[in-house]
């Protein structure tokens, strides 16, 4: 019998193989505070967190969030905090969908580019100098203002509106290193958006900071592994950042299986109605994008309809209903909760 942890791993493995579902490369909601760093990381671990002056600039894992704190301005003496996935993502991604829910809890000095976010390849956890453009697919940052902060696209120099300190904001970064456009969804209110080849889109909550920003800064050359590494670098300004959740997954939405659908879709979050031929009722499970099973009551209504009632109302987002047919074939379909 599976333990809870083993079951979660089994679900994540299923996500990687079932119906071309999305691969989860990294997800951390800080529900635990230990075993979060490993040079050979699993999907919930950083490969490295580097502190160049740990008494002045440091991180701390709390139940439900990670704090990043800088107390001295100069990066040479005040220190740098680097949180990385330097071990290449596997399988190698052509597209990425990154969401980081965070807030600036305090801003003690104003500065541009207080925190950098990088996506690229061959990031070096030993060398603390800026990675060159040749390693980059794209980069963005957070600016510290007087009592507020903004999200900035470094390619276009466009910035979001200002958010007051202690305001939780979701940064969404959608990157396309393939030769074809793909659709993605920030929220039901916005519907589906297209990510164009060789570009990225950057969002602050439901508002775009930049759309179709050119990837490969400078004269950087194409590489199929240009989305294989990720880094956050807090190197300027004084203050504290709170990070509640980080998700890095494949950018493309999984295709829905023939003769299988959730209707209506989007759903309210109270009930999900699954239409599927010959679904094995005992195998029906509802999981979130992190591969965590959502407790729910499952009842067959008709031969083709199954009613799924979560124990508690679902939060807005994308969920996956998966099941097996009477002949043992695996099926999956996405459900969008408004």
At 22, is the pLDDT very low, low, confident or very high (cuts 50, 70, 90)? low
In a domain, 48, yes or no: yes
In a domain, 254, yes or no: no
Domain finish residue from 218, 249, 280: 249
Domain finish residue from 249, 272, 296: 249
In a domain, 2, yes or no: no
In a domain, 282, yes or no: yes
Same domain assignment for residues 239 and 128 = yes
Q: Measure the CA–CA gap between 153 and 186, rounded to whole angstroms.
A: 18
pLDDT in tens, 104-120: 999 999 999 999 999 99
Flag whether pLDDT at 38 surpasses 90.
yes
Domain hosting 286: range is 261-337
**CATH for 149:** 2.60.120.200
What pLDDT was estimated at residue 7? 42
Same domain assignment for residues 196 and 68 = yes
Residue with tokens 């299988």: 260
Q: What own/partner pairs with CB < 8 Å and gap ≥ 24 does 220-223 have?
A: 220/133, 220/134, 220/135, 220/136, 221/134, 223/121
Instruction: Pull the structure tokens for residue 128.
Output: 């603390």
Instruction: Pull the structure tokens for residue 85.
Output: 């996935």
In a domain, 36, yes or no: yes
DSSP per position, 201-237: EEEETTEEEEEEEE-S-TTPPP-TTTTSEEEEEE-SS
What pLDDT was estimated at residue 13? 41
b (16+ CB within 10 A) / e for 164-189: ebeeebbbbbbbbbbeeebebbbbbe
pLDDT in tens, 312-323: 999 888 888 888
Same domain assignment for residues 228 and 296 = no
Q: What own/partner pairs with CB < 8 Å and gap ≥ 24 does 124-127 have?
A: 124/86, 125/47, 125/48, 125/50, 125/82, 125/84, 125/86
Same domain assignment for residues 285 and 228 = no
In a domain, 16, yes or no: no
Same domain assignment for residues 78 and 109 = yes
Q: Measure the CA–CA gap between 250 and 180, rounded to whole angstroms.
A: 14
Same domain assignment for residues 150 and 288 = no
Give every CB contact of residue 196 below 8 A, 6+ residues apart in sequence. 176, 181, 212
Flag whether pLDDT at 4 surpasses 50.
no
Same domain assignment for residues 184 and 279 = no
Flag whether pLDDT at 25 surpasses 60.
yes
Instruction: Find out whether 215 and 137 touch, Cβ atoms under 8 Å.
Output: yes
Same domain assignment for residues 280 and 174 = no
Same domain assignment for residues 206 and 281 = no
Same domain assignment for residues 168 and 140 = yes
Same domain assignment for residues 216 and 290 = no
What pLDDT was estimated at residue 254? 57
**CATH for 324:** 2.60.40.1220
In a domain, 6, yes or no: no
Q: Measure the CA–CA gap between 131 and 220, rounded to whole angstroms.
A: 12
Strand, coil or helix: what is 248? strand
Greater pLDDT, 62 or 76: 62
pLDDT in tens, 163-219: 999 999 999 999 999 999 988 888 756 777 899 999 999 999 999 999 999 999 988
Domain finish residue from 221, 249, 277: 249
> How many structural domains is the chain composed of?
2
Q: Measure the CA–CA gap between 28 and 244, rounded to whole angstroms.
A: 8
In a domain, 3, yes or no: no
Give first-to-last CA distance, the chain, whole Å: 35
Same domain assignment for residues 234 and 323 = no
């Amino acid at each position: 019998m599976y333990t809870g942890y083993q079951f979660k791993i089994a679900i994540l493995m299923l996500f990687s193989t079932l119906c071309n579902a999305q691969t989860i490369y990294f997800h951390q909601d800080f529900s635990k505070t230990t075993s979060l760093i490993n040079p050979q990381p699993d999907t919930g671990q950083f490969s490295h967190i580097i502190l160049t002056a740990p008494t002045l600039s440091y991180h701390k894992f709390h139940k439900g969030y990670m704090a990043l704190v800088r107390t001295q301005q100069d990066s040479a003496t005040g220190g740098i905090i680097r949180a990385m996935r330097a071990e290449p993502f596997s399988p190698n991604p052509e597209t990425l969908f990154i969401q980081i829910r965070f807030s600036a809890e305090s801003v003690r000095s104003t500065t541009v580019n207080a925190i950098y976010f990088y996506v690229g390849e061959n990031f070096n956890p030993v060398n603390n100098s800026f990675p060159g453009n040749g390693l980059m697919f794209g980069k963005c940052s957070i600016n510290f203002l007087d009592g507020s902060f903004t999200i900035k696209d470094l390619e276009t120099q466009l910035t979001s509106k200002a958010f007051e300190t202690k305001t939780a904001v979701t940064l969404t970064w959608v990157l396309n290193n393939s030769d074809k456009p793909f659709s993605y969804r920030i929220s039901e209110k916005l519907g589906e958006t297209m990510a164009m080849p060789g570009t990225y889109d950057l969002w602050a909550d439901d508002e775009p900071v930049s759309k179709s920003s050119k990837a490969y800064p400078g004269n950087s050359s194409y590489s199929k592994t240009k989305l294989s590494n990720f880094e956050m670098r807090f190197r300027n300004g004084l203050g504290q950042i709170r990070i509640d959740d980080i998700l890095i997954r494949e950018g493309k939405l999984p295709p829905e299986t023939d003769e299988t659908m959730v209707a209506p879709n989007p759903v309210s979050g109270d009930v999900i109605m699954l239409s599927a031929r010959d679904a094995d009722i005992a195998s029906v499970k509802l999981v979130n994008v992190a591969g965590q099973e959502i407790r729910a009551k499952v009842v067959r209504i008709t031969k083709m309809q199954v009613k799924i009632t979560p124990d508690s109302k679902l939060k807005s987002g994308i969920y996956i209903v998966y099941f097996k047919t009477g002949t043992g074939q695996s099926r999956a379909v996405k459900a969008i909760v408004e």
